[in-house]
C-alpha cells in the first residue's frame, strides 16, 4: 500500500513491534494508510517481510524485548526512518500452561493451571510484555525531549503500548498475563504522567478478545470468554485512530471495558465477587 501524503500520521516514522500478524499487522497497515513511513518488526522474519511489503515499509526482524534486541530494532529503525516519531510496542505473549503451549506438561497432577507456570515462562512474559516497553522508552524518550515542540501542540514523540483489558481488569486463567499487562498499563501511565506535559504522548491499547493467532492458542477458558465479543484486528486499529483524534491515553476497542473498570474501582469486592462467579461458571463448562 502506498502511503497517502495526507493523513493523521503524514510523513511520520513509525515502528510497530510484533507486526508480522494480528493486531500489530493491523496497526502497521493503519499507520501506512495514515501516511506514515513504517518499520515492521517481528521475531518471524518471513512474516515481517510480508507485512513490510504490504505497507510499502521496511522489515526489521528480531526480538523487540531483550535489551540487545530492542537496541538493534531502535538503531535499525532510526537509520531507516531518519527518526522514530511513533513507537508502537505491540509484541506480547502468553505462555501459561493453560494457554495451549504445553509448558505445563509434567508439572502437575491433572490439568496444569496458571499457578504451575514455570519461573522461566514468567520471566519471558515479564521481558516481552513489560521490559520491552521500558527498554524502548529508555532509548527513545531522551531524544524526543530534546526535539523542538511540534506545530500546533503536536507531540515530540508518541509511545503506544498494546496492553490488554487484562491490564485494567484481570484475565481468568492466566496469572502472568494479568500481572504483566497490569505492569504494562502501569508503566504507560507513569510515562504519560512524567513526560506528557513535556510533549511525549502515550497511549495504552486495552482490548478484550481479538481474532488473532494468540486468541486461537489461548486455551479453552480464554476462548470461551471471548467467543461472543471478539473483534477483528482492524477494529483495534479503528479504535486507535479515534483515540488519536481525541487525544486519549486509553484505547478501548471494547467500550464495555470502561464500565467494568469503573465497577472495579467503585467496589472492588463486588467486582471480585462477579469474577469469582464467572470463574465458577467456566469451571463447570470447560
Q: Which residues pair with 148 in a beta bridge?
A: none
When the beta carbons of 199 and 202 are compared against ligand NAD, the nearer one is 202
Q: Interface with ligand NAD includes 179 (CB under 6 A)?
A: no
* Least Cβ distance, residue 199 to ligand NAD (angstroms): 26
DSSP letter for 153, please.
G
HSE-CB of 218 using CA atoms within 13 angstroms: 25
Q: Interface with ligand NAD includes 221 (CB under 6 A)?
A: no
Q: Which residues pair with 13 in a beta bridge?
A: 37
Query: CA 277, CA 102: separation in Å to the nearest integer?
Result: 27
Q: Interface with ligand NAD includes 23 (CB under 6 A)?
A: yes
Phi, psi of 87, deg, nearest 5: -120, 115
Q: Interface with ligand NAD includes 164 (CB under 6 A)?
A: yes
Find out whether 200 and 155 touch, Cβ atoms under 8 Å.
Answer: yes
Query: CA 233, CA 216: separation in Å to the nearest integer?
Result: 13
Q: Identify the residue among 5, 153, 213, 246 touching ligand NAD (CB under 6 A).
A: 213
When the beta carbons of 114 and 212 are compared against ligand NAD, the nearer one is 212
Query: CA 195, CA 85: separation in Å to the nearest integer?
Result: 15
Q: Identify the residue among 155, 176, 207, 219 touching ligand NAD (CB under 6 A).
A: 207
Span near ligand NAD by CB under 6 A; candidates 57-65, 114-122, 254-262, 271-279: 57-65
* Least Cβ distance, residue 51 to ligand NAD (angstroms): 9
Interhelix angle 175-195/132-146, rounded to 10 degrees, is 10
Q: Identify the residue among 13, 92, 97, 112 touching ligand NAD (CB under 6 A).
A: 92
| Binding region for ligand NAD (CB under 6 A) | 17-18, 20-24, 41-44, 47, 63-65, 90-93, 128, 162, 164, 207, 209-210, 212-215
Amino acid at each position: 500500500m502506498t502511503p497517502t501524503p495526507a493523513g493523521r500520521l503524514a510523513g511520520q516514522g513509525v515502528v510497530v513491534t510484533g507486526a508480522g500478524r494480528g493486531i500489530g499487522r493491523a496497526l502497521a497497515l493503519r499507520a501506512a494508510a495514515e501516511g506514515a513511513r513504517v518499520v515492521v518488526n517481528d521475531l518471524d522474519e518471513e512474516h515481517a517481510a510480508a507485512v513490510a511489503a504490504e505497507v510499502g515499509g521496511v522489515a526489521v526482524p528480531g526480538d523487540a524485548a531483550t535489551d540487545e534486541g530492542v537496541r538493534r530494532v531502535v538503531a535499525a529503525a532510526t537509520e531507516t526512518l531518519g527518526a522514530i516519531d511513533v513507537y508502537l510496542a505491540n509484541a506480547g505473549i502468553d505462555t501459561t500452561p493453560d494457554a495451549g503451549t504445553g509448558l505445563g506438561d509434567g508439572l502437575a497432577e491433572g490439568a496444569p493451571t496458571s499457578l504451575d507456570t514455570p519461573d522461566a515462562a514468567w520471566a519471558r512474559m515479564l521481558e516481552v510484555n513489560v521490559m520491552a516497553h521500558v527498554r524502548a522508552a529508555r532509548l527513545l524518550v531522551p531524544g524526543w525531549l530534546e526535539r523542538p515542540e511540534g506545530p500546533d501542540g503536536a507531540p515530540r514523540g508518541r509511545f503506544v503500548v498494546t496492553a490488554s483489558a487484562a491490564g485494567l481488569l484481570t484475565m481468568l486463567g492466566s496469572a502472568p498475563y494479568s500481572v504483566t499487562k497490569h505492569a504494562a498499563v502501569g508503566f504507560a501511565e507513569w510515562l504519560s504522567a512524567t513526560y506528557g506535559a513535556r510533549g511525549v504522548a502515550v497511549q495504552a491499547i486495552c482490548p478484550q478478545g481479538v481474532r488473532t493467532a494468540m486468541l486461537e492458542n489461548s486455551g479453552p477458558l480464554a476462548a470461551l470468554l471471548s467467543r461472543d465479543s471478539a473483534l477483528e484486528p482492524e477494529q483495534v486499529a479503528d479504535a486507535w485512530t479515534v483515540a488519536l483524534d481525541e487525544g486519549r491515553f486509553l484505547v478501548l476497542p471494547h467500550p464495555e471495558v470502561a464500565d467494568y473498570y469503573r465497577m472495579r474501582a467503585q467496589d472492588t469486592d463486588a467486582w471480585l465477587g462477579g469474577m469469582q462467579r464467572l470463574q465458577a461458571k467456566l469451571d463447570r463448562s470447560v
